[in-house]
Amino acid sequence: MKKLINDPKAVVDESVEGFGLAHADLVVVHTDPLFVTRKVAKAGKVGLLSGGGSGHEPLHAGYVGFGMLDAAVPGAVFTSPTPDAIIAASVAADSGAGVVHIVKNYTGDVLNFETAAEMAQADGIEVRTVLVNDDVAVEDSLYTAGRRGVGGTVLVEKIAGAAAERGDDLDAVAAIGQRVNDNVRTMGVALSACTVPHAGVPSFELAENEIEIGIGIHGEPGRHKIPMEDANGITDRLLEPILADLAPVTGDKVLLFVNGMGGTPASELYIVYRHAAKVLRDAGLVVERSLVGNYITALEMQGCSISVLRLDEEMTELWDAPVLAPALRWGM
């Protein structure tokens, strides 16, 4: 394992410390428990909080700032944070109007956030939870832990963040977050595995000509392995279940999000974007907005995910609203 790290056990602490130093104009890093808050809080605004295992950078701390998150709680690598940190961050994010927790649907995240929400509520903080579960690679049935939260999380955080910033109340912010989740579908592919620092070995094995379809963002194996294909073929494979499940109709406006898993060059993401845009156009959809880059990653994994969000006018407006966070910035 070759990584730019010191002690594998200190990876998250040191990385978040460096992040805080580099973006001292925008964020404040709190330690023990570890969480990140917006430098300039806005009184009376609904607080937006997210968190989860580390290793998905810039998610979530990179989205703390004006128009997006008020607080982010990074756990150990690929491990949900603990309730005490979530509670402390909720207290910091609450200015009286309540806090929305954006939680990716994994057993660990759900259990820890559930506990934290209960305890925060007991302390008088109103909490609403938006559970993100956009991953069409996983069957959503009684016999699984349900669909995972993946790429759609970034879109939920941006759009709900803009709603909170414009002054929506607690239920309204949660409702728009939920609406984004209901309208977004994601599917991913890995060309290589990633190596968790404390494990020191790649999280799964892939032969030289194999890829893993339906991958999540934790180095967990995906739906199945297939022989390597070209970018257009892979793009088709990712979009097919997305469109089958989202079932858009001709003329629907969508946001197309091609996300890098951390180890894939931008040039390759644009090659995927190119074909995906064509497929959506051919399906009668209008690609109104786009996002291409490393926004929710799995350490240095090579691969990408595609998310398609069906937009309505309000979502588009909130997407376009100014945002000023370390990893997403426009309009100011």
Ligand X SMILES: Nc1ncnc2c1ncn2[C@@H]1O[C@H](COP(=O)(O)OP(=O)(O)O)[C@@H](O)[C@H]1O
Site string for a second copy, 249-268 (x = CB under 8 A): ---------x---xxxxxxx
Structure tokens at 204: 């799964």
Distance of alpha carbon 77 from alpha carbon 250, whole angstroms: 41
Residue 218: active-site member: yes
Nearer to other proteins, 25 or 205 (CB): 205
Any long-range contacts for 37-44 (C-beta under 8 Å, 24+ apart)? 37/64, 37/70, 37/71, 37/89, 37/92, 37/93, 38/64, 38/65, 38/66, 38/69, 38/70, 38/71, 40/66, 41/70, 41/95, 42/95, 42/165, 43/95, 43/96, 44/95, 44/96, 44/97
CA angle 280, 181, 90 (to 5 degrees): 145
Pick between residue 108 and residue 161 the one whose CB is nearest to Mg ion: 108
Question: Closest by alpha carbon to 296, among 265, 260, 255?
Answer: 260
Q: Which residue from 196, 296, 299, 304 is in contact with other proteins, where contact means CB under 8 A?
A: 196
Size of site (CB under 8 A) for other proteins: 42
CA dist., res. 132 & res. 90, Å (int) = 19
Cross-sheet strand order for the sheet of 184-190: 224-227, 210-213, 184-190, 303-310, 253-260, 286-293
Catalytic residue status for 198 = no
To ligand X, the closest distance from the beta carbon of 14 in angstroms equals 22
Q: Which of 23, 56, 101, 275 is catalytic?
A: 56
In angstroms, the CA 283 to CA 291 distance is 20
Question: Cβ of residue 275: shortest distance to other proteins, in angstroms?
Answer: 24
Residue 53 Rama label (left phi>0; alpha psi -120 to 50; beta): beta
Instruction: Report the nearest approach of ligand X to the CB of residue 222 (Å).
Output: 16
Rounded to the nearest 10°, the torsion over CA 207, 213, 214, 218 is: 30
The single-letter code of the amino acid at 233 is G
Q: Assess 271 for contact with a second copy (CB under 8 A).
A: yes
Which of 80, 297 has the CB closer to a second copy? 297
Query: Which region, judged by CB under 8 A, interacts with a second copy, from 2-10, 102-110, 121-129, 306-314?
Result: 2-10
Q: Does 18 engage in binding with a second copy (CB under 8 A)?
A: yes
Q: Which does 293 bind (CB under 5 to 8 A by kind): other proteins, Mg ion, ligand X, none?
A: none
**Using rule CB under 5 A, residue 78 touches Mg ion:** yes
Q: Could you give the angle at which helices 170-182 and 313-320 cross, rounded to 10 degrees? A: 110
Identified binder of other proteins from the candidate list 144, 171, 230, 278, rule CB under 8 A: 144
Q: Does 108 bind ligand X (CB under 6 A)?
A: yes
**Of 144-152, 166-174, 183-191, 319-327: span binding other proteins (CB under 8 A):** 144-152
Q: Is 201 in the site for a second copy (CB under 8 A)?
A: no
Residues near ligand X, by CB under 6 A: 79-80, 107-108
Chain residues in the site for a second copy (CB under 8 A): 2-7, 11-12, 14-19, 21-23, 54-55, 57-58, 62, 191-192, 208-209, 211, 228, 230-232, 234, 258, 262-275, 277, 290, 292, 294, 297, 299-300, 302-304, 329-332
Indicate which residues carry an active-site annotation. 56, 218
